[in-house]
Structure 1
Amino acid sequence: MKQPKPHQTFKIGLPLFFALLFSCNAFAQTKILDSLLNQLAQHTQKDTIRVGYLVNAAWNMTHTNPKDAFKYVDEAIEISNQLNWPRGSISAWRQKGNLYYVMADNLNAMDAFQEGLKIAQTSDHKMLEASLYGNIGNIHADLKQNQKALENYFLYLKTARTLQQRPDEARALTNIGLVYGDLGNQDVGIAYLDSALVLAKEEKNPYFIAGIINNLGIMYKDKKAYNTSLEYYQQAADLAKESQIKYIEASALNSLGKVNLALGNLDEAKSKAEEGLAMSKEINAVEWQADSWELLSTVNEQQGNMEEALTAYKNHIQLRDSVLNEEKKAELTKKEMQFQLEKQQVEADEEISRQRLVKNVAIIGGILLLLASMIGYMLYKRRRDALDQKKLADFHTKVAETELKALRSQMNPHFIFNALNSISDYVVKNDVEMANTYLLKFAKLTRAILENSEKKWITLQEDLELIELYIQIESLRLQNKLSHTIKVDEIIDAENTLVPPLMLQPFIENSIWHGIANGKHPGEIDIHIKKEEDMVVCIVDDNGVGRRKTLDVQSDKNSMGLKITKNRLDIISELKKVKGSIEMFDKEQGLRVELKLPLELRF
């Protein structure tokens, strides 16, 4: 079965503070929100005081009801613009970005943060400007753009220290530590988190303290210092429970279960997984429920409780699929953002430059003609560069969409549930050995596909092993009605030759489901890999019913799989400047498919 998924880190968010209003306490938010809404009802005058109430009300709704909070920040932006009050506008735009961020809408979050940053950079509000760098750093960190994240976090830290703002300094230190941990430098990450923890304890903020301690547990777990990791996770769980921070408590309980599993403490791991599952259900955290079920599946399997392991694994699969659908959408969004953010940054820089230019023109009007000619050239060059960037962005968006669709197509839901039903049948028939064999093969294939989904290239040897495993599982499902051969010419070094993962899978699936499964005689699939000049030729040959007899019954999924494969081949051909091809040849009985790929070597 799959090992438990990676841990969940907690970036420290950026709450809003107004000098004329009290600070928000995260553990009395309901009471504070009621008070703020009463004050808003009483104070109807559109002034800076109302703006403060509006923004703080929206902040208190960030983690409980973000959708309904937008009307408050939008009114705050409108009033601040009417009053020409930069501080109110910056704070409102920043809070609007926070609302989008907690809703996982990073594109709109970045737009809001950059709107606030444009205003902050043309006014004298250094701490607000610095905090926006922290917000933008969070988005870069989510996109794994670690260098950009660190640049923004260090700008935030520098200003916080200069202005002696301890809460902001603690947030910056925490997020810097998390980025270093993500880069694999846990020792540096721990040093930053320790510094943040000292400040958090001085501020007596339970949410900060619990989140930082939980992150320290993650760092020590990654260092394989499991006993130290257990101590920090337990501290985080105890403090979160005491302060009723169920979000952190659920994560800490699951993490305690994973570390105990790594230490071989199966009973304790099971107990923590069950506690984490109960807490995750209470706060309706679907992803962590899936995490808990996966942990319970692994523990039960190691304890020999195969029926309980299978039930837990089915629950994990069901919940995980609902999470993965969103994660896959997020994956495409993130890939698109890598291009959109550059475009947005250019637009933001242009707007800031334009505003500064207006001021400079007023001061140095005597050289207006010279500046106009320089600006004209710059605008021409910028437009030309923007057009080039748009063409590149469009191409990479096609790459991102095709990669994501390929990931979806590789895990056909019908295949998953047919496999699980077959396993269930073996369990019902008390054929535990065959159920275990089927389950191990299925888990190995699932893990391998998910691990390779992030890779653009894998070795031919690895790809053929995946295909071999896929055919074995389908052969078990068809009760050994299927036989196959895989031949690689001696001239090809399978361990040194690179191919895109699972390019042949849609054709093999087509052969099995539409060529062989419905046939009356045993099926055969022959796979042959050979070299022709600078191309690798992959041949799939079957003895099924043939293409003509299956045209009326082929599924949309199969057609989509073939279309995605063609799109992937087009992209590879464009990148490598070598034309690949897919050709299909009808035989007297069966179908022959030839896929030609550019030869790519690892060394």
Structure 2
Amino acid sequence: MELYMDGLSMYEKLDVENADKGWLLRYIGSVYRRQKNYEEALEYYGRAIKIFKRFDDQDGIASCISNIGIVYGYQGKDSLQLQLYQKALKICEENNGYRRASIILDNIGSIYSNNGEFDKAIACYNRASEYLRGLKLRDHSRIARNLTDISYLYIYKKEFEEAISYLQEAQEHLKKTEKKRKLRMKAIYSAYSTIYAEQGNYKKGLEYHKLYVALSDSLADMSHSSEVAQVEFRFRREIEELEIERLRLEQVIEDQKYQYQKYGLLFLFVLLSLVGVVFSQWRKLSLVYKELSSIIENSKEQPDTKGLA
């Protein structure tokens, strides 16, 4: 936060008003949001939006609107949260911001899923998957996660063949990456186990349950799966947001490095420092997420599972 405030002070001293100042205000707003200081967060998001509108930075506007939606979600204002997500999504789609659009669609899908509106949730997850497939750098792990989420919704709807179809596609994507493969396969095995148990094929259901347990290494995690899912969702959303910001800042430096020369090396140093902070936050959250995943996969409690083998 201190570096962000120093950067903001530098902008004001140099009397510089551009879209990058808007992004700095947006970062400050997100720090306040993570600190649960929602009033300050909303104030800085609002200030950022005013600058983004002045310089027609549509990605910045969408980012702030989406983050305001997150704040409203924390405050229990679900209807407002959904409205803002949809508004941000429209901006992203109209400006080819498909990476951010996929994140927003995941968030909207989660809202619909929690409300029992499974068809709407499935539509959102499918759109998010399509956008992810269209990116140059495909995140096969994330696509697999989306497809698995869709399969679970079909399980709730008792449409098991559709669920199996999505699980098979998810497995194909996991063949192309090592990223979180073990975690994703655990969810897939659990889904298969549920499907076959629901269909009365208990032998096959048990086979997949054994595969799930073999990956879990602990039955203790199962009782905490809901809490773990909530924490996992929060971390992965933060990581995805920070990854977008890191890539955007690096591109800004590459595209506008000559513009910054007239403001002196000190100003450029501040900008480079901001990139460093964003990367540091992204790396820190990634390590925490990795540690969380490790805890899930390797619980210290080791109940005897020989009877299930």
- Whether TM-score is above 0.5 comes out as yes
Instruction: Pick one of 6, 14, 20 that aligns with 1:123.
Output: 14
Distance 1:212 1:427, change over 3 A: closer
Aligned residue identity for 1:426: G
More helix by share: 2
Contact 1:253 1:273 in 2 (8 A): yes
CA gap of 1:189–1:283, structure 2 versus 1, over 3 A, is farther
Q: Hey, what does 2:183 align to over in structure 1?
A: 290
Q: Secondary structure at the match of 2:46?
A: helix
> Counterpart of 1:135?
27
Deviation by residue 1:461-515 (Cα, 9 ceiling, x = unmatched): xxxxxxxxxxxxxxxxxxxxxxxxxxxxxxxxxxxxxxxxxxxxxxxxxxxxxxx
Q: Structure 1: 5+ residue runs without aligned partners?
A: 1-109, 332-407, 429-603
CA contact under 8 A between 2:106 and 2:125: conserved in structure 1? yes
C-alpha deviation, 1:256, in angstroms? 1.2
Aligned position for 1:505 = none
2:308 paired residue number: 427
The 5 Å alignment of 1:270-281 reads 270-280=164-174
Q: Please state how far the C-alpha of 1:231 moved relative to its aligned partner.
A: 0.9
**Structure 1 residues 176 and 120, CA, compared in 2 at 3 Å: closer, same or farther?**
same
Give the structure 1 partner of residue 84 of structure 2: 192
Give secondary structure in 1 for the equivalent of 2:116: coil
The CA deviation at 1:163 is 3.8
Q: Find the counterpart in structure 1 of residue 130 from structure 2.
A: 238
How far did 1:133 drift?
2.0
What's the CA shift for 1:210? 2.8
In the other structure, the counterpart of 2:156 is: 262
Tell me if structure 2 keeps the 8 A contact 1:180–1:188. yes
**Aligned equivalent of 1:215:** 107
- The one-letter code of the counterpart of 2:186 is W
Match of 1:313 among 213, 219, 237: 213
What is the CA-CA distance between 1:200 and the residue it aligns to? 1.8
Q: For residues 193 and 117 of structure 1, do their structure 2 counterparts lie closer, same or farther at Cα, with a shift above 3 Å needed?
A: same
The residue number in structure 2 matching 1:171 is: 63
The change in CA–CA distance for 1:153 and 1:295 in structure 2 (over 3 A counts) is farther
Contact 2:189 2:211 in 1 (8 A): no
**Residue of structure 2 equivalent to 1:249:** 143
Offset at residue 221 of structure 1 (A):
1.7
Distance of aligned partners of 1:119 and 1:298 in 2 relative to their CA distance in 1, 3 Å threshold: same
Asked whether the equivalents of residues 254 and 292 of structure 1 are also in contact (C-alpha less than 8 Å), the reply is: no
Structure 2 counterpart of 1:180, one-letter code: Y
What amino acid is aligned across from residue 207 of structure 1 in structure 2? R
Q: CA deviation at 1:271?
A: 4.0
CA distance in 2 between partners of 1:150 and 1:306 (Å): 50
SS in 1 for 2:178: coil
- The 1-side partners of 2:58 and 2:216 are apart by 42
Partner of residue 227 from structure 1, selected from 119, 123, 126: 119
Aligned counterpart, 2:280: none
Give the Å deviation of 1:309.
0.8
CA pair 239-164 structure 1, distance change in 2 beyond 3 A: closer
Contact 1:210–1:240 under 8 Å retained in 2: yes
In 2, are the aligned partners of 1:177 and 1:189 still within 8 Å (CA)?
yes
Higher relative contact order (CA 8 A, sep 6+): 2
Which residue in the other structure is 1:149 paired with?
Answer: 41
Over the residues paired in the alignment, what is the CA RMSD in angstroms?
3.5
SS of the aligned residue for 1:122 comes to: helix
Distance 2:144 2:91 in 1: 25
C-alpha separation between the residues in 2 aligned to 1:280 and 1:156? 39
Residues 52 and 58, structure 2, Cα contact 8 Å, conserved in 1 = yes
Instruction: Determine which structure has more spread, i.e. the larger CA radius of gyration.
Output: 1
- How far the C-alpha of 1:294 sits from its partner, in A, is 3.1
SS at match of 1:150: helix
The SS at the match of 1:285 is: coil
Please say if 1:206 is aligned against 2:106: no
For 2:56, the aligned partner's letter is Q
Q: Distance in 2 between matches of 1:139 and 1:280?
A: 34
Displacement of 1:306 in angstroms is 1.5
- Rounded Cα–Cα distance in structure 2 between residues aligned with 1:150 and 1:280: 39
Pair 298,233 (structure 1): closer, same or farther in 2 beyond 3 Å: closer
Matched position secondary structure for 2:14 = coil
Aligned mates of 1:142, 1:277 — CA distance in 2: 34
Write the distance in 1 (CA, Å) between the matches of 2:43 and 2:174. 35
Change in 2 beyond 3 A, CA 1:262/1:155: farther
Give the direction of change, closer, same or farther, for the CA distance of 1:313–1:427 in structure 2 (3 Å limit): closer
Change (3 A) 1:261 1:125: farther
Cα pair distance change 1:255/1:182, threshold 3 Å: farther
Cα displacement string for residues 332-390 of structure 1 (whole angstroms, at most 9, x for unaligned residues): xxxxxxxxxxxxxxxxxxxxxxxxxxxxxxxxxxxxxxxxxxxxxxxxxxxxxxxxxxx
Q: Report if aligned partners of 2:192, 2:208 keep a CA contact under 8 Å in 1.
A: no
> What CA distance in whole angstroms lies between the structure 2 residues aligned with 1:191 and 1:314?
42
Q: Distance in 1 between matches of 2:174 and 2:13?
A: 45
Return the alpha-carbon distance in structure 1 between the equivalents of residues 177 and 165 of structure 2.
Answer: 19
Seq. identity, %:
17
The yes-or-no answer on 1:300 pairing with 2:193 is yes
Q: 1:56 is matched with which residue? A: none
